[in-house]
Structure 1
Amino acid sequence: MAKFTAIARDEVASSTTYAAPDRQATGVRSSTRVSPDDYSIWMVDSLLDDGAELVWSGPHGDDGVYVIEGELDVTHDGVVRRCPTEGAVIVESDVDCRARAVGPTRVLHVGAYDPAPPTDGMYGPPARDGHTVHVVGDKGWYQSGGGVHYLARWFADSTQSSSRIALFHVALHEAHRRDIPHSHSQDELIYIMDGSLVMGRSEYMPGTCLALPANVRYSVTTGANGIKFVNFRRDASMQEYGKVKAPELESAIARGGRLVGDLR
């Protein structure tokens, strides 16, 4: 695919058929795949009716579901846990579970086309046993940043023993903040939730998905009202700055973060 792709949700036809590849759902009011087709990972923005269900069964990779609006009741191993607005559900590979919408609910569902978990990353393959479902509240599993200028809420950071998914929400409150040009060692998807992001001569608004392939160097600037976005990667990543700065491992604790443990 191209070095960089931006897809706006409103420019893609939505469907009442669930747009996540090889995933099942009922009660879909609208569903839009906002990621490019020729990419290793995918992202789907969907509105679910009250009582709608997302269902995982059979072989599948690590999935994440970020709850934009509403709530999900998640059933796994006979136990029901509720995921709140701005929380997330992490479904590790090959685990069977169900997530039921409590009222009209909007979700951002992410995953990989390859159902096999990655094995060659910095943390190696995940454990073969003990795969489970994590229901993480709106405060996150970990946090990094002080919250004044920057706060990341991590729902998974690739360090789980039985999965390698990274899913987190970032809030950058400072206007017109330009970051250091950099690249990542993993393909990533960024979904703008609020504010805006400037790359080159283009400004991207909420509802836009940015697909940034591994090892592509880029820089972004926050808009006049800062930015909030959700970021997804399939495996642990290194952020590279060239000669300007030493590379950084992209996990919550490596970024100076702290355990919050908002697990439901």
Structure 2
Amino acid sequence: MAERVKQAVKSEALRVGSLASSAAKSGAYIYPIKGIFYFLAHRSLWKPLLSRIGPTLSLGLSVTSAMFFFTYVPQLALLAITSGPLVAPISTLLLVLSESSTITNTLSRSFLTHEAAALVDTFDGTLISAGHEALVTNGRQLKASAADPIARLGRLIKTPFRGFSPTSLMQTIMYLPLNFVPVVGTLLFVVLQGRKFGLGVHERYFQLKGWKGSEREEWVQRHTPAYTSFGVLGFALEMVPVVSIFFSYTNTVGAALWAADIEAKASTTSGLREEGKKVE
């Protein structure tokens, strides 16, 4: 069984190898890092996180406790075979913590509506902070007299919240056994989950742009390596136990900064085209 898993991992690793290479060249992986520094430097963006930190930490503690109680010993037995009895306890500890963090993030975004709303507020607030108020008004009302970006956020006109997806949760659970294969399996797990994670980071941006399904799919397909590179690092950060909730917000800030740069580049390109037409 262990040998079959290893062969499957090697086959999948070859398939995603070229994608990972293109993803690294895109440079989009820098935005999760930018999101951390930008978030720390703008205290007004902390409000949505502080308002939801209690329920999310409670969920994380419950999931982590249950995972250790029900899965630590069985996974320790399997890893003792694949990794050896000396390495297995540490590997199992890290595995259960990463599994708990992944499941907590999936459940919080699916079931905790207020958590999803807080992330949308963070995304929209970051766009306002970056000077893209007009874009945000496509999806919500803004208050003119407020002092900071979060305080300016009014009633939502469009809500991008997704309901619970059994398919998404099952895919996450199905990928978890990859971690039983030392190093390679864990890296492959992060790449596969990161790709899925990255493809969803601009859902709010696409909604604010008013893009329909075909437009979204075309854009994402053309920029899949970039979204994968963002997703891999972003997902890896959100696998960190305890502080995963912090990184979910900084990743949202990073995604908004990326969207702001896309808008700025599109505006510059459009301006150059207009200047070219005038010259002609």
Say whether the fold is shared (TM-score over 0.5): no
Greater C-alpha radius of gyration: 2
TM, length-normalised to structure 2: 0.26
Identify, as 1 or 2, the structure richer in helix.
2
Q: Which of the pair has the greater relative contact order for Cα pairs under 8 Å at 6+ separation?
A: 2
TM, length-normalised to structure 1: 0.27
